[in-house]
């Protein structure tokens, strides 16, 4: 049912999917299940659940996009199995997407996905966010920084805001704890150059679990001392 409803759900978000794009989502699901047999990519394997809890949940990030009709430069931090970056890239082929993850095996899987699906203007980086954010070609270079199910907001803000350009947007995709985490991250957001903007709360159409999308606009440069060395943000979050 969720797979059949997926185009309708996408259309409600302003995304009209072609037959080719729907086929890409089918191929993505097939690859996800095949690779999941040999490495831990997701605990959700039922097709309808993947379409709702991974695919639709991923594309719901558009609620916080500044615009989707121009060639945005986006980075997905801690992409895991490719959520939300791969679904967003399927929906918006003109996006210039960079996918970063600290596990080489996940990057290998995502490279395979991009090849099979024929995705262009997509690059992959095997590196921790704390190290990657110190490289000039990545620091404060992106229109949008997105992360889903990576860490709580005080930690995630330090990992992600250094990548956003001035005027860029950091989008954090959260569950029911989203607004609570927003309060926890007030100090981190301000210190790292961000200003909170509108958040978006909704429930998944079938499962009815709560989702919260937090939006931060980068208004000033992140101090050069951030992010701190690998592991420190999670051990000593800015609170």
Binding site per annotation, positions: 78, 83, 129-130, 148
Annotation: binding site for S-adenosyl-L-methionine: 78, 83, 129-130, 148
Backbone angles phi, psi at 168, to 5 degrees: -80, 175
Cα 81 from chain centre? 11
Is the distance from CB of 194 to CB of 226 less than 8 angstroms? no
For residues 85 and 74, what is the distance between their CA atoms, to the nearest angstrom?
9
Whose tokens are 């379409």? That residue is: 51
For residues 65 and 144, what is the distance between their CA atoms, to the nearest angstrom?
8
Instruction: Find the helix or strand (DSSP H, E) in which 217 lies.
Output: strand 210-218
Which has the closest alpha carbon to 222: 133, 144, 135, 156?
133
Is the distance from CB of 161 to CB of 173 less than 8 angstroms? no
Neighbours of 137 (CB within 10 A): 6
At a CB cut-off of 8 Å and minimum separation 6, what does 45 contact?
A: 33, 36
């Amino acid at each position: 049912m969720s797979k059949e409803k997926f185009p309708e759900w996408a259309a409600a978000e302003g995304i009209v999917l072609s037959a080719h794009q729907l086929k890409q989502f089918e191929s993505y699901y097939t690859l996800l299940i095949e690779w999941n047999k040999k490495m831990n990519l997701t605990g959700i394997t039922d097709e309808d659940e993947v379409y709702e809890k991974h695919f639709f949940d991923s594309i719901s990030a558009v609620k916080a996009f500044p615009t989707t009709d121009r060639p945005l430069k986006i980075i997905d931090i801690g992409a895991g199995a490719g959520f939300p970056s791969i679904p967003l890239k399927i929906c918006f082929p003109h996006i210039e997407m960079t996918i970063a993850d600290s596990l080489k095996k996940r990057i290998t899987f995502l490279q395979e996905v991009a090849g099979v699906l024929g995705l262009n203007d997509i690059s992959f980086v095997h590196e921790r966010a704390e190290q990657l954010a110190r490289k000039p070609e990545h620091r404060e270079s992106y229109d949008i920084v997105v992360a889903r199910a990576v860490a709580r907001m005080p930690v995630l803000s330090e990992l992600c805001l250094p990548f956003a350009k001035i005027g860029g947007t950091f989008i954090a995709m959260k569950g029911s704890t989203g607004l609570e985490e927003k309060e926890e991250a007030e100090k981190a957001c301000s210190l790292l150059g961000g200003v909170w903007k509108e958040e978006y709360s909704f429930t998944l159409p079938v499962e009815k679990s709560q989702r919260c999308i937090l939006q931060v606009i980068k208004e000033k440069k992140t101090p050069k001392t951030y992010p701190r060395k690998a592991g420190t943000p999670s051990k000593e979050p800015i609170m």
